[in-house]
C-alpha cells in the first residue's frame, strides 16, 4: 500500500502520482486527491480515497469505478472540458503546430445511439475496469433512452438462444438494428421466432440477415439514409449535427466539394444542399446507401459517390484541383497518404474531421508543409466520460 497525492491527469484520463521518483497512473482519481493505492508497475489501483481534490464530483452512474466503459464521470465539468481540450492542444504541441483552439463543444445530446454488449450466462454488460471479466448491468445511462435498459434486455434474451455472444444495438428512426456475433457456426433460422417476438427493425447473426421488418434508417439533412449492417456512425446524433455544421461553415461558399472517407454521407448529403459533391469511401455498402439516399431525395445538387480505397489509392492533385474545397473524415489511424496528395494540390480550403488528435496532428503537419495554414480547430465532445475527443480543423491555402 502506498499513499500518494495526485498531481495531474494522463492522456487516458488517469491520475498521475509519483512513487519512488517515477510516474504511476491511477484510474478514477483527480488532481489533488490523497489516496492509498496498490502499485503494479506503471499502473496502480485506487484502494482508498482519503481526501478529494477540488475537481472531483459524485459520478452519475452506480457502476462507475467498476465498469470499464467510462473513465471520467468523477471529473467536475470545468476540469473535464479542460482535459478534453488539452488532448487536442497537446497533440498539436508535440507536432510543433500552433493554432487557436476553440472551447470544447458539448455534443452528447440524448446519449450514444449505438452500443455493443457482451452477453454471457451471468448476464449482459461491459467488461469490468482493467479486466476481461463481465460486469452485468441493468441499464447504461450514457445511451439514448431507447437503448438504456432495452439493449441489456435484448442481449440477455439473445444469449438464451445462441449462447455467449457480442450484441451490437443501434437506435434508428425506424427501430432497433441488432447484430449478434458469436464466432460459431449457427444457422440464422434458429433466431427467427425470437426476432419476431423482439420487435426489432433488423436482426442479423454473424453477418447473415435473420429478419428485417423495416430498413434501419436515419435522417441526414433532407435525406433518409437506410443503414447497411455495421455501418459507421458518429456516436451521437447531436455530434453528427454539430460536426456537419462546423464542416459547412468551414467550406464557406464552395460550390464543388470532395468528401473523402464519406461513409453513408452525413456530410455529403448536407453539403449537397448547396454544392456539387464528389464522395468516396472504401465501404461499398456505405457508398450504395449514400447513392440510394441521393436518388430518393429532392433538392440536392449533383452527388457522385464511388467506392475507392483512399489509403492505397488516394486522389491525386490532378483529380483534386477541380474542387473548391475538400472535407475528409478518416478512421482513427488518420489519412496520411491522402493528406500528402492534398498538400500537393491547389485546393483552397480543406476541412479535416478526426476522432484522434495525434493522427490529426500528423496529417495537419503535412498540409502545413504543403502551404496551408490551420485557421481554426474545434474540439467536440461526443465520447462522453471517455478519454477521447472529436475535432474539426479548417485549413486555408
Cα separation, 218 vs 203, in Å, equals 17
Residue 103 carries which DSSP code? Answer: P
Cα separation, 326 vs 344, in Å, equals 13
Structure-block grid coordinates of residue 302: 449533383
Phi then psi dihedrals of residue 152, to 5 deg:
-60, -35
Phi then psi dihedrals of residue 316, to 5 deg:
-90, 165
Q: What is the DSSP string of 18-84?
A: EETTEEEEETT--TT-EEEEEEETTEEEEEEEEE--TTB---SSTTBTTBSS-S-TTB-HHHHHHHH
Instruction: Measure Cα distances from 307 to 183, 217, 256, 291 in Å.
Output: 28, 21, 19, 11
Instruction: Measure Cα distances from 292 to 20, 96, 105 in Å.
Output: 62, 43, 32
15 neighbors 24 (Cβ within 8 angstroms)? no
**Exactly one of 67, 140, 262, 355 is catalytic; which is it?**
355
Mark whether 355 is an active-site residue. yes
Residue positions annotated with a catalytic role: 355
Amino acid at each position: 500500500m502506498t499513499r500518494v497525492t495526485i498531481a495531474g491527469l494522463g492522456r487516458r484520463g488517469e491520475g498521475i502520482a509519483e512513487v519512488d521518483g517515477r510516474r504511476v497512473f491511477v484510474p478514477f482519481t483527480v488532481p489533488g486527491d490523497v489516496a492509498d493505492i496498490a502499485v503494479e508497475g506503471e499502473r496502480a489501483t485506487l484502494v482508498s480515497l482519503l481526501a478529494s481534490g477540488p475537481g472531483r464530483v459524485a459520478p452519475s452512474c452506480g457502476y462507475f469505478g467498476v465498469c470499464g466503459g467510462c473513465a471520467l464521470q468523477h471529473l467536475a465539468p470545468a476540469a473535464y472540458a479542460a482535459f478534453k481540450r488539452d488532448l487536442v492542444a497537446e497533440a498539436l504541441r508535440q507536432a510543433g503546430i500552433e493554432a487557436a483552439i476553440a472551447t470544447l463543444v458539448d455534443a452528447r445530446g440524448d446519449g450514444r445511439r449505438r452500443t455493443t454488449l457482451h452477453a454471457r450466462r451471468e448476464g449482459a454488460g461491459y467488461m469490468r475496469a482493467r479486466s476481461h471479466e463481465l460486469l452485468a448491468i441493468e441499464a447504461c445511462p450514457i445511451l439514448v433512452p431507447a437503448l438504456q435498459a432495452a439493449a441489456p434486455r435484448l442481449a440477455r434474451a439473445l444469449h438464451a438462444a445462441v449462447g455467449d455472444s457480442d450484441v451490437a444495438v443501434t437506435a434508428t428512426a425506424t427501430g432497433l438494428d441488432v447484430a449478434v456475433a458469436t464466432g460459431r457456426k449457427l444457422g440464422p433460422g434458429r433466431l427467427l421466432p425470437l426476432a419476431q417476438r423482439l420487435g426489432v427493425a433488423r436482426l442479423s447473426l454473424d453477418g447473415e440477415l435473420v429478419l428485417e421488418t423495416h430498413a434501419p434508417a436515419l435522417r441526414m439533412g433532407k435525406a433518409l439514409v437506410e443503414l447497411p449492417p455495421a455501418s459507421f456512425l458518429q456516436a451521437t446524433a447531436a455530434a453528427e449535427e454539430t460536426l456537419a455544421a462546423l464542416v459547412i461553415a468551414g467550406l464557406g461558399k464552395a460550390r464543388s466539394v470532395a468528401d473523402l472517407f464519406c461513409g453513408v454521407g452525413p456530410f455529403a448529403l448536407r453539403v449537397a444542399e448547396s454544392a456539387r459533391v464528389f464522395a468516396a469511401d472504401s465501404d461499398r455498402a456505405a457508398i450504395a446507401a449514400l447513392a440510394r439516399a441521393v436518388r430518393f431525395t429532392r433538392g440536392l445538387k449533383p452527388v457522385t459517390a464511388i467506392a475507392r480505397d483512399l489509403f492505397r489509392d488516394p486522389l491525386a492533385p490532378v483529380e483534386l484541383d477541380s474542387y473548391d474545397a475538400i472535407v475528409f473524415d478518416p478512421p482513427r489511424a488518420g489519412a496520411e497518404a491522402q493528406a500528402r496528395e492534398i498538400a500537393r494540390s491547389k485546393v483552397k480550403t480543406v476541412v479535416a474531421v478526426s476522432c484522434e488528435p495525434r493522427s490529426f496532428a500528423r496529417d495537419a503537419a503535412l498540409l502545413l508543409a504543403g502551404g496551408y495554414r490551420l485557421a481554426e480547430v474545434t474540439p467536440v465532445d461526443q465520447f462522453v466520460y471517455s478519454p477521447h475527443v472529436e475535432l474539426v480543423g479548417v485549413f486555408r491555402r
